[in-house]
A = this chain, B = another copy of it.
Amino acid sequence: MARNIKVEELLQTPIEKQRIELVERKGIGHPDSISDGLAEAVSRALCREYISKCGTVLHHNTDETQIVAGRSSPEFGGGEVLQPIYMLLVGRATKEFEGVELATESVALQAARNYLRKTMVNMDLERDVIMDCKLGTGSSDLREVFKRDRVPVANDTSFGVGHAPFSELENIVYNTERQLLTDLKSRMPAIGEDMKVMGLRDGEDITLTICSGMIGRYVDDLDSYINMTQEMKTYVKELATRYTERDVNVYINTGDNLKTSCIFLTVTGTSAEMGDDGSVGRGNRCNGLITPNRPMSMEATSGKNPINHIGKIYNLLSTQMARDIVKQVPEVQDVYIRLLSQIAKPIDQPLVASAQIIPKEGTSFEKVKSEAEVVIDDWLSNVTKITEMVIRGELNTF
C-alpha cells in the first residue's frame, strides 16, 4: 500500500536569520533527566530479559519514573544527604509468558540501581537513595500485539516530530553540557551532573546561562568555587568558537550570592537531593534539546517499549529521517518531520508522514521533494530498525 507521505515547501525565515532563538538542555543529572535515564534503562533491561527468556520483546512501558527530592546539607569538602531521594519506578510489564514467570520488578530495580551508580558517581546508593518500584501488568489485548509475526500496529493515536540540522546555538548548547560532563569533568570532578544550559541568541549575540550543581567534596572553599566556575566559563567560551563566530557570553550560577556564600553546592551532584523533584518526559526531547523555535512533541520517549509505542518510535524515527534527508539531500536548508499514527494501524503506514522543507536559496524544491520522499519511504519500510537500534542502545532518548 502506498504511504501517505506529504512533502511541502515551507516558506519561513530560516532559524539562523530569526532574531530571537532559545535552546535549552538539561544535563544528565537534572532530576527530570535522571527520571528519563532510569525509565529508559529499565525498558532496555526488560527488553534484554524478555529476549533472553522468551525469545522476543514483550509488552511493557516504564515511562513514568517519579523522583521525590530529599534533603541535604552540602558543605565545602563534604556534606551529607539528610533524607534520601525517593525514586519510584512506575509502569507496566508482562510478568508471565507461556508459563514462564518473569522477574520484571527485580530486573527493573537492578537496572535502575546500576544506571544510577554509573551516571551519578558521587551518589551513595546505600544511604542517599530509596529506590521503589510499582509495575502493573499490561492489559491483555495489548499483549496480543507483540506475538504477531508482522509489522506491529500502533498502540495509540499519537505523533512524533524531528528536525535537522542543528542550528549553531543548538550545537553549542548540546555540546556544552556534553563536554563539561565528560572532558572537563575528567579533570575537574567538582562539576555536578545536574546542569542546565539555557541558550539565547539575540541577533548576533549569544548568551549562555549555565546552572551547575557543584559537588562539595571536591571544592575546598569559596575561592576554589569561584576559580572553578571561572575555568568553566573560559572553557565554554572556547568551546563555542568551534560552532559559531558570533559573540558568546557565558553566565554560570547567576543565582549565587557570593557575599552570603549562598551558592549552588551539592553533595551528590544533583538538586534532587534538596528540593527538586523530577519526572519522565518533562526535560529534553529525544534529540537532546528543548527548542521552542522548532516543532516539538509532548510524548515522552524514554521508557516506552520500542516495539509498538508510537510515542517513542515516531519521535526517534522523525529525528533519524530529518538527519538523513539533510545528509543525503544537500539542497535542504531546514527540514521538519511530523509522523502521525492512528491506533491499531500498522506503524509503517502512518496516517500522514509530513515533511516541511526550506530549500537552500537558489535550489529547486521539486528535486528536493522527491529525494526526501525516498528517504522517508525507505525508513518506513524499515521501521523496525528503530526497535533494534533502541535495544542495542544506539539511540539516545533525552
Which residues of A come within 8 Å of B, CB atoms?
A: 6, 8, 10-13, 18-20, 22, 24, 61, 63-64, 66, 68-71, 73, 80-84, 86, 88, 90-92, 95, 101-107, 109-110, 113-114, 124, 126-128, 130-134, 136-139, 141-142, 157-159, 161, 196, 198, 200, 202, 207, 209, 211, 251, 254-255, 257, 262, 274-275, 277-283, 285, 290, 292-293, 295-300, 338, 340, 342-345, 351-352, 354, 356
Tell whether A338 pairs with B22 under 8 Å between CB atoms, given A69-B136, A102-B82. yes
Write the nearest CB–CB distance from A101 to chain B, whole angstroms.
6
Q: Could you say which of B109, B136, B251, B277 contacts A71, with CB atoms under 8 Å apart? A: B136
Tell whether A84 pairs with B275 under 8 Å between CB atoms, given A113-B126, A343-B255. no
- Closest Cβ neighbor of A117 among chain B residues: B126
Write the nearest CB–CB distance from A260 to chain B, whole angstroms.
9
Write the nearest CB–CB distance from A55 to chain B, whole angstroms.
18
Q: Could you say which of B86, B142, B279, B344 contacts A280, with CB atoms under 8 Å apart? A: B279
Complex-state Cα separation, A142 to B282, whole angstroms: 22
Question: Hey, which chain B residues are within 8 Å of A114, CB to CB?
Answer: 126
Contact B133 A84 (CB under 8 A): yes
Complex-state Cα separation, A139 to B262, whole angstroms: 12
Contact A66 B69 (CB under 8 A): no
Question: Hey, which chain B residues are within 8 Å of A211, CB to CB?
Answer: 157, 343
3 closest A-B pairs by CB: A20-B354, A110-B127, A66-B66
Complex-state Cα separation, A80 to B292, whole angstroms: 43
Question: Hey, which chain B residues are within 8 Å of A113, CB to CB?
Answer: 126-127
Query: Can you identify 30 A-B contacts, CB atoms within 8 angstroms?
Result: A6-B202, A8-B19, A10-B13, A11-B12, A20-B356, A22-B159, A22-B338, A22-B340, A61-B277, A63-B277, A66-B66, A69-B92, A69-B136, A71-B137, A81-B103, A82-B95, A82-B102, A82-B106, A84-B105, A91-B277, A109-B127, A110-B124, A110-B127, A138-B275, A142-B275, A200-B352, A254-B342, A282-B299, A285-B298, A290-B297
Complex-state Cα separation, A129 to B340, whole angstroms: 33
Other CB < 8 Å A-B pairs besides A20-B338, A109-B126, A279-B281, 4 of them? A130-B130, A139-B275, A254-B344, A281-B281
Write the nearest CB–CB distance from A300 to chain B, whole angstroms.
6
- Closest Cβ neighbor of A95 among chain B residues: B82
Complex-state Cα separation, A185 to B92, whole angstroms: 31
- Closest Cβ neighbor of A82 among chain B residues: B103
Question: Hey, which chain B residues are within 8 Å of A262, CB to CB?
Answer: 141
Question: Hey, which chain B residues are within 8 Å of A86, CB to CB?
Answer: 132, 134
Tell whether A8 pairs with B12 under 8 Å between CB atoms, given A64-B279, A73-B101, A298-B296. no
Contact A81 B106 (CB under 8 A): yes
Write the nearest CB–CB distance from A185 to chain B, whole angstroms.
21
Contact B91 A88 (CB under 8 A): no
Question: Hey, which chain B residues are within 8 Å of A83, CB to CB?
Answer: 103-106, 136
Q: Could you say which of B22, B81, B106 contacts A128, with CB atoms under 8 Å apart? A: B106
Question: Hey, which chain B residues are within 8 Å of A292, CB to CB?
Answer: 159, 161, 295-297, 338
